Amino acid sequence: MTDATSAAIRSVCLFCGSSDAARPEYLEAARAFGQALAEAGLRLVYGGGGVGLMGAAARAAHGAGGEVLGVMPQFLRSRERLFDEVETRVVTSMHERKQMMYDECDAFVVLPGGVGTLEEAIEVLSWKRLDLHPKPVIFINLDGFWENFYALMRHSVEEGMTPAAFLEAYDSVDDVAGALAVLSGARAVPNRYDQR
């Protein structure tokens, strides 16, 4: 049942790699995720690039008739090769990009990626830890890609740097179907605070 403070998830932000050197299985999972979002009637919000997992997800979502929003900083337009077949907003900085992606989504999904993907995921987890948002954060742990990250988070808890409850701030699933299952049971909740 929907009430004044929650509604169904409508828009999902994807953090993932932009490298064309990614393993074929990761690229295929990105394509599958984009297509699955479109088929579920969910909008994909992503970094705007046409390369790597980013490009694979966006092309698949667009190809399946889904709504896609890309957010690209001006200085990355040539490096990440803007995918201009979908709505794309060009912004001035990485900070503006992340803020817009955050504001435009109801949930976050994290596929394999490099340091940029990790930085994006850590930021939304940090914000969640500070009660700045209640949005779901879902890692798709393909072939154990995120296991070392999970180990680091457990180590931080064991060392007293992070409360144990933080380990419940995100979901871990093994595949795209698992992510869609979590999203289907999640609710979009308004931000608790306006200032971030």
Looking at every residue in the chain, the average pLDDT score rounds to 90
Q: What is the pLDDT of residues 17-62, one digit of tens each?
A: 999 899 999 999 999 999 999 999 999 999 988 889 999 999 999 9
pLDDT attached to residue 195: 44
Q: What is the CATH number of domain 110-187?
A: 3.40.50.450
Q: Say if residue 1's pLDDT is above 70.
A: no
Q: Report the share of the chain in percent with pLDDT over 90.
A: 75
CATH dotted code for 26-105 = 3.40.50.450
The per-residue pLDDT for range 70-120, each reduced to its tens digit, is 998 888 766 656 667 788 899 999 999 999 999 999 999 999 999 999 999
- DSSP labels, 29-96: HHHHHHHHHHHTTPEEEE--BSSHHHHHHHHHHHHTT--EEEEEEGGGTTTTTB-TTSEEEEESSHHH
- Domains 26-105 and 110-187 fall in the same CATH topology: yes
For the chain, the structural domain boundaries read 26-105, 110-187
Please say if the pLDDT value at position 186 is more than 90.
Answer: no
CA 139 – CA 110 distance, rounded (Å)? 5
Residue 81's pLDDT is: 65
The pLDDT value given to residue 127: 92
pLDDT for res 77: 64
Q: What is the pTM of this model?
A: 0.91
In the predicted structure, residue 194 carries a pLDDT above the cut 80: no
Side chain identity, residue 1: M
